[in-house]
Chain A
Amino acid sequence: MNEIDNLIESVSAKQPSKGSVKKSKTATVTRLFDELSDNAYARILDKLRVVLENKKPYDRENVVMEQLGIKYTTMYYIMAGKRGFPLDRLGEFCARFAHMSCHEIALGEKKPVVLPKTLSYIVKTVMQLDIMRGENDTGFVSSLIDTYKTHIKPVASLPVRPDLCVCRINELADDVQMPPKRAQAVVWGKSNNVALMFRGQQKIMLISRIEENISHVKMTSALMLCFVLDVPLDYLVCEDYTRTCDIAYKDDTGNIIPVTDKDIIRLVSIYLSLPEDMQRKMFTDIALRSTLVKTMFSLVNPF
């Protein structure tokens, strides 16, 4: 990440020589993320201007504002550079108008979302089951898509759920078997810090000032979360991150494998847009089918 390295160097060069080491390190990190955040807002604004210039004069701002649900005054302040682009609308803007990922627009680099455990399991299993289809069979993935596409929530993309950031943090906490109650307590603890422990590393990583409502989360905090949790920005601000970003899963050896099959990406997209009970039902369907196939296989081939 050359850009970040350059920023660290430039910020460190501006560092005053006096003061305690601890204080200066904290200040460096804060200033680094402030600068990253300013750069990100500037890139988004540039992209917004390009998008608006390509529109016809009579629907130049109105269409964009209407489709993103941004008020006229807010748009005025954004265009004037007096306030940042709201994070809860960023995913929609990237998907509909910018046609690039939020992470790419904010930080200038592409990064796939590595799916959480449940989705990784679904993707891996569905790929295995789909290989076994017969010649006239429509395939397991297609049948799942047909079954579940009718259950998609009516408003899936806009506005994003207010507690999206917290849900994503909890999802990561679930994967490392940290109790959600404890993760919540840590997120909204007295120190107002987010702390997540990661397996094997035995270290606590801290990020300050994460708001409960995504519309109040600042870009600086969101970027800090991205770096600390090692996730792209899309994972934190888009409900259906397959619309803007590439996805990948970890195989049994820990290698990251990109998902390229369009049907499987569509299935992941449907899963992300389903209500929680239907998500569980989909997991149950797939897990039962897979367990049954394994059982049959072990009975037919005992050795």
Chain B
Amino acid sequence: MPRLPGSLSADVYDGLKDYICSEAADKYGVDREQRIEKLRDYDDALRDPRHNNNKSLPTLYTLPNLLSVANISLKDIYKDLWGVELTWPDEQAEEVANIMDGFSGNVYMERFAENLCGLVHTFIEPWWEDGDTGEGRLLNPTERIKNVYMKRVSLDERPNLPEDVQEILKRLVLMFHGVSHLELPRLCEVLHVSMHWVVGYPPEVLVLGKNKYTEMFMDDFLRLSANHRSMFADLVSASPDFVRKSFLDFFKGKEGSEE
């Protein structure tokens, strides 16, 4: 079956369906027929109208929804789809994520983590969010790639990109084609963006983080410049001890006042 631009290949889709129908159904004990039917509905509803001539193929944009319907984590299926393990982009990010994972267990820790997420978000420029809100945030990897290319790669730099990537980007920008899932890893590597972000997972979908604050924090952290990243890495590293100490002080103070 020919693969259309912006769509998953038939093989990957078949694999995905098998996966959903077998493991997920077993794992979560959900009615198999009902799940397939729901999947089909979603698939039809979210199909990109530009490539509507072959109804058996889902587009890349439907993938987050497919997985969320099937209750499958991206992490589980990531390697099958892209051929690489899903990991944090570097050691620093992994370290920060591990510390953020620790901010759970009580409301005090969680509120602290939530406020840290608010702080890091104030450092993010609004241009990241241009055309990237609502449904678009979930469903539009092509727009994200175009956004990064148009706004982060200067005219001087564009001729220095590898030729194959230049070709793809020219096609995306000039001919309004969708991005293919096979091209995504290469594009993300060259443009220095996380594939996880490009595919468009919202922070509520836990992928690598163990709690939602990790995902929220990392979603912004990975967009920061290197200098700001190390600044926030220092902040996060210093946080656990500080929180523990202040937590104890807080309750000591409360006990004292009650006495």
Contact = CB atoms under 8 A, between A and B. Distances in A.
Interface in A14-33: none
Interface in B160-187: none
Question: DSSP majority for the A interface?
Answer: helix
Contacts of B157: 182, 185-186, 189
Nearest to B154: A195
Interface stretch (A134-142, A152-160, A230-238, A294-302): A294-302
B28 interface: no
Interface residues of A, number: 40
B156 A193 contact: yes
Contacts of A56: none
Interface in B195-253: 223-228, 230-231, 234-235, 238-239, 242-243, 246, 250
B69 interface: no
A283 B233 CA distance: 12
A117 B119 contact: no
A38 B234 CA distance: 46
Contacts, number: 102
Contacts of A10: none
B139 to A, nearest CB: 23
A174 B225 CA distance: 5
Interface string A260-303: 00000000000000000000110110011011101110110000
Contacts of B127: 176, 199-200
B233 to A, nearest CB: 9
29 contacts: A117-B228, A173-B225, A175-B225, A179-B152, A179-B192, A179-B226, A180-B225, A180-B226, A182-B153, A195-B154, A195-B156, A199-B151, A200-B126, A200-B127, A202-B151, A204-B155, A283-B231, A283-B234, A283-B235, A284-B235, A287-B235, A288-B239, A288-B242, A291-B115, A292-B112, A295-B115, A296-B250, A299-B107, A299-B111
Contact of B224 (A177, A199, A298): A177
Interface string A166-209: 00001101111111111001100101010101011010100000
B225 A177 contact: yes
A154 B83 CA distance: 54
A121 interface: yes
A199 B129 CA distance: 11
Contacts of B124: 177
Contacts of A39: none
Interface of B is mostly: helix
Contacts of A193: 156
Contacts of B95: none
Interface in A68-94: none
B125 interface: yes
Give the interface size class of chain B. Answer: 35 or more
Given A118-B231, A296-B250, A291 B156 contact: no
A275 to B, nearest CB: 14
B150 interface: yes
A202 B150 contact: yes
B226 A181 contact: yes
Contacts of A296: 250
A294 B117 CA distance: 12
A177 B115 contact: no
B130 interface: yes
Given A185-B157, A292-B246, 15 more contacts: A170-B227, A173-B225, A174-B227, A174-B228, A179-B192, A179-B226, A181-B226, A182-B154, A182-B157, A189-B157, A197-B152, A199-B126, A291-B239, A298-B111, A299-B107
B74 to A, nearest CB: 24
A204 B154 contact: yes
A180 B107 contact: no
A176 B112 CA distance: 26
A199 B125 contact: yes
Contacts of B223: 177
A149 B134 CA distance: 47
A227 B155 CA distance: 20
B78 interface: no
